[in-house]
Amino acid sequence: MTTSKVKRERLMNVEINTLYQVITDFEHYPEFVSEVVGAKTLPGSTDTRALVRFELEIIKRFEYLLEFKMTRPTEVKWKLTRSNFFKVNDGAWSLTPVDASHTEAHYELEVGFGFLVPGWVSRKLTEINLPQMFDHFEARAKALS
């Protein structure tokens, strides 16, 4: 199995607490992340740990379960616990306030698939969607400000 690793950073024109709120509001992802068609936070989740079931649609629907560890307002890490699509889906957001209305966002993702995935699907997930995802998270945070 091969994995793809992506690291990106971007200065976002939003306040750190608002951006953190958007990142950890998992159940609202389907409203602004186009490939996510379902998200459900499972019972037992807290402010620092969450288990979230996602449904992703790329050609067909896939389900996966991520365990999140969160440190408000600077870090959100996740690790794959179950999936019929991914073999690896681990990553993190690291947020650093620059000033009252700007946040430096660092994003890391490692994905691997349990079967042969066409290169365009892998690139779409890691290279094409990532810049768009930053835009979506920033726009959502601005809308909440």
72-129 residue pLDDT tens: 999 999 999 999 888 999 999 999 999 999 999 999 999 887 667 666 666 666 666 7
CB-based contact 37:28 (threshold 8 Å): no
**How does pLDDT run across 12-65, given as a tens digit for each residue?**
999 999 999 999 999 999 999 988 999 999 999 999 999 999 998 877 899 999
CB atoms within 10 A of CB 109: 21
CB-based contact 111:89 (threshold 8 Å): yes
**How does pLDDT run across 119-145, given as a tens digit for each residue?**
666 666 666 676 788 899 999 999 998
Dihedral sign (CA 114, 65, 138, 76): negative
Tokens of 7: 């690291």
User: pTM for this one?
Assistant: 0.91
Residue 1 has pLDDT above 90, yes or no: no
What angle separates helix 129-144 from helix 16-23, to the nearest 10 degrees? 120
CB-based contact 73:95 (threshold 8 Å): yes
Query: What CATH number corresponds to the domain at position 117?
Result: 3.30.530.20
Peptide bond into 73 cis (omega under 30): yes
**pLDDT value for 99:** 97
> Which has more pLDDT, 117 or 4?
4
Q: Name the pairing type of β-strands 102-113 and 75-83.
A: unpaired
How far out from the chain centre does Cα 88 lie? 14
**pLDDT value for 32:** 95
Q: How many CA atoms lie within 13 A of 77 on its CB side?
A: 3
**How many domains are there within the chain?**
1
**pLDDT value for 77:** 98
What is d(CA 137, CA 27) in angstroms, rounded to the nearest whole number? 14
CB-based contact 78:86 (threshold 8 Å): no
- Expressed as residue numbers, the domain containing 107 is 3-144
**pLDDT value for 123:** 66
